């Protein structure tokens, strides 16, 4: 978490054009970097903020890594991270500003954001005890203080100590390096499949009820699950009609904050109505959809076809999956009409379905997104209606079953690399009894669950 502090410090200093006159980095304890900063009598607008850009992006990535390692991760953390990314973005924009504009830097906005972070931390403290959070709290308070002081500084005293700023940067880097050397274990980088499979799943992070309400118990939600997705902040929510069958539209939000506030949404309709007659030709069926590379992939209504619709252009395509069973013949145990279920992981897009030839057992298909065809298939021995839901991680299928109203068990796996299957037992807690969809996202190594209308997520931990 201390990276957040460092980042925020760098941001503040660069954004406000403030340069310290004396700074030293020291290592305190085994998990803290502290940089002491003495405020100078005057400040100046720094001319070059640009060189900080790479630095902040890098630090932001580190924060992401750091957060991954923290157990009991809360969805609030995500908001936190997004705020940080937002700040990073604004530093990037600052680079394009003229020096005289820098003087007009908006302190009010910055103060507001810091205030928001303080509130977030307060909430975090309620849920998570420990020095990490306490330090964070203090650090943000300190930053807040510095901002207040900065505001009162003379804006006309200009340019002298660029060099000292470089020094501060170097010290922060040194401090970070030391800390890194002390890390006992290296986390598995996102996107990497250099691990030994699923180890454990966190407690659920309950976000909220879907936007249509509690009557809409079927559906799915998540983020763009393509590893190279460009809109990694975007969230999508796709509640089916109350009949548990038809998907009439998909809703997207630019950020988590918008999702939480139910605002700035965009709805893409999948039905058309002419003279009171609804055309369901490109509507969706079942809760098996995912967003992959800004396209929604789903089972087309009343067919064994895969549908794909571009979320920005609404360009739509469909292709048949040969032999796939559809229309609720072999759906999952607690979700209707999910005969065809899409999944995404580090290796790309997959489709989980079944055929009569395979007697209702799960078939894993690899989707070639260039041609929208199922390129290769693997047949498993796991009866599809015998599982609650399934997802893929690094080319391995994981299937769950319900063991109690409160617990779900990942009990079956199938590795497409070796063609071998096996039984495992990894528990996850549910917020409600039924699970309608479960999707893995390689970009944040999370599972996104739609459970009786509630949107929940889980952090996934792999065996090193």
Site string for ligand NAG, 25-64 (x = CB under 6 A): ---------x------------------------------
- Considering only 53-61, 133-141, 382-390, 456-464, which stretch makes contact with ligand NAG by CB under 6 A? 133-141
By CB under 6 A, residue 148 contacts ligand NAG: no
By CB under 6 A, residue 257 contacts ligand NAG: yes
Judged by CB under 6 A, the residue of 83, 382, 389, 441 near ligand NAG is 83
Cβ proximity to ligand NAG: between 33 and 201 the closer is 33
Question: Which residues within the stretch 211-240 sit at the binding site for ligand NAG (CB under 6 A)?
Answer: 226, 228, 230
CA distance 457 to 407: 15
Closest approach, Cβ 293 to ligand NAG, in A, equals 5
CA distance 185 to 181: 10
CA distance 132 to 73: 13
Closest approach, Cβ 111 to ligand NAG, in A, equals 13
Could you tell me which of 409, 398, 265 has the C-alpha nearest to residue 341? 398
**CB-CB contact of 54 with 10 (8 Å):** no
| Token output for 187 | 């986390």
- Considering only 299-307, 367-375, 439-447, 452-460, which stretch makes contact with ligand NAG by CB under 6 A? 367-375
By CB under 6 A, residue 302 contacts ligand NAG: no
**CB-CB contact of 250 with 241 (8 Å):** no
**CB-CB contact of 91 with 56 (8 Å):** yes
By CB under 6 A, residue 281 contacts ligand NAG: yes
Judged by CB under 6 A, the residue of 55, 74, 78, 139 near ligand NAG is 139
| Token output for 412 | 């079956």
Closest approach, Cβ 264 to ligand NAG, in A, equals 9
Q: How far is CA 264 from the centre of its chain?
A: 18
By CB under 6 A, residue 375 contacts ligand NAG: yes
Q: Could you write out the DSSP letters of every residue in 15-74?
A: HHT---S-EEEEEETTTEEEEEEPPPS-----S--THHHHHHHHHHHHHHHHHHH-TT--
Cβ proximity to ligand NAG: between 226 and 449 the closer is 226
| Token output for 165 | 């700023």
Could you tell me which of 179, 240, 201 has the C-alpha nearest to residue 453? 240
CA distance 126 to 111: 23
By CB under 6 A, residue 317 contacts ligand NAG: no
Cβ proximity to ligand NAG: between 205 and 402 the closer is 205
Q: What angle do CA 374, 379, 381 make, to 5 degrees?
A: 150
55: Cβ contacts below 8 Å, ≥ 6 apart: 10, 169
By CB under 6 A, residue 86 contacts ligand NAG: yes
Closest approach, Cβ 274 to ligand NAG, in A, equals 6
- Considering only 67-75, 176-184, 364-372, 380-388, which stretch makes contact with ligand NAG by CB under 6 A? 364-372
Judged by CB under 6 A, the residue of 178, 192, 312, 381 near ligand NAG is 312
Helix (H) or strand (E) holding 162: helix 162-182
Q: What are phi and psi of 390, to 5 degrees?
A: -150, 155
Judged by CB under 6 A, the residue of 369, 372, 427, 431 near ligand NAG is 369
**CB-CB contact of 197 with 461 (8 Å):** no
Residues that bind ligand NAG (CB under 6 A): 22, 34, 82-83, 86, 90, 135, 138-139, 142, 226, 228, 230, 255, 257, 279, 281-282, 293-295, 310, 312-313, 368-370, 375-376
């Amino acid at each position: 978490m201390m990276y957040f502090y460092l980042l925020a410090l760098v941001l503040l200093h660069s954004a406000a054009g403030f340069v310290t006159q004396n700074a030293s980095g020291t290592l305190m304890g085994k998990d803290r970097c502290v940089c002491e900063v003495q405020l100078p009598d005057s400040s100046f607008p720094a001319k070059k903020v640009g060189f900080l850009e790479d630095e902040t992006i890098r630090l932001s990535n580190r924060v992401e890594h750091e957060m991954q390692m923290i157990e009991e991760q809360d969805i609030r953390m995500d908001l936190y991270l997004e705020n940080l990314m937002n700040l990073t973005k604004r530093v990037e924009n600052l680079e394009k500003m003229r020096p005289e504009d820098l003087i007009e830097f908006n302190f009010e906005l910055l103060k507001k954001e810091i205030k928001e972070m303080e509130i977030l931390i307060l909430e975090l403290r309620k849920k998570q005890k420990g020095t990490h959070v306490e330090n964070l709290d203090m650090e943000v308070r300190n930053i807040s203080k510095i901002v207040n002081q900065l505001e009162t500084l003379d804006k006309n005293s200009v340019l002298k100590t660029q060099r000292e700023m470089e020094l501060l940067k170097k010290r922060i880097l040194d401090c970070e390096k030391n800390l890194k050397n002390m890390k006992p274990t290296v986390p598995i980088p996102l996107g990497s499949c250099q691990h030994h499979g699923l180890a454990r799943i966190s407690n659920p992070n309950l976000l909220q009820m879907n936007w249509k309400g509690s009557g809409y118990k079927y559906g799915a939600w998540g983020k763009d699950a393509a590893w190279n997705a460009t809109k990694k902040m975007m969230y999508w929510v796709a509640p089916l009609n109350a009949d548990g069958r038809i998907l009439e539209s998909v809703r997207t939000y630019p950020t988590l904050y918008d999702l939480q506030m139910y605002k700035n949404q965009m709805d893409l309709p999948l039905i058309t109505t002419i003279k009171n007659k609804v055309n369901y030709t490109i509507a969706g069926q079942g809760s098996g959809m995912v967003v992959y590379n800004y396209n929604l992939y789903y089972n087309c209504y009343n067919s064994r076809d895969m549908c794909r619709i571009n979320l920005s252009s609404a360009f739509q395509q469909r292709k048949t999956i040969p032999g796939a069973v559809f229309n609720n013949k072999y759906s999952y145990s607690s979700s209707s009409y999910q005969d065809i279920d899409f999944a995404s992981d580090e290796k790309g897009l997959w489709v989980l379905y079944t055929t009569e030839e395979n007697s209702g057992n799960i078939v894993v298909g690899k989707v070639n997104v260039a041609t929208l065809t199922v390129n290769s298939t693997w047949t498993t021995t796991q009866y599809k209606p015998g599982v609650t839901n399934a997802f893929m991680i690094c080319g391995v299928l994981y299937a769950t079953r319900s063991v109690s109203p409160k617990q779900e068990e990942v009990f079956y796996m199938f590795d497409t690399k070796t063609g071998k299957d096996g039984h495992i037992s990894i528990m996850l807690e549910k917020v409600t009894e039924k699970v309608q969809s479960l999707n893995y996202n390689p970009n944040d190594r999370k599972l996104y669950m739609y459970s009786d209308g509630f949107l929940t997520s889980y952090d996934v931990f792999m065996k090193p």
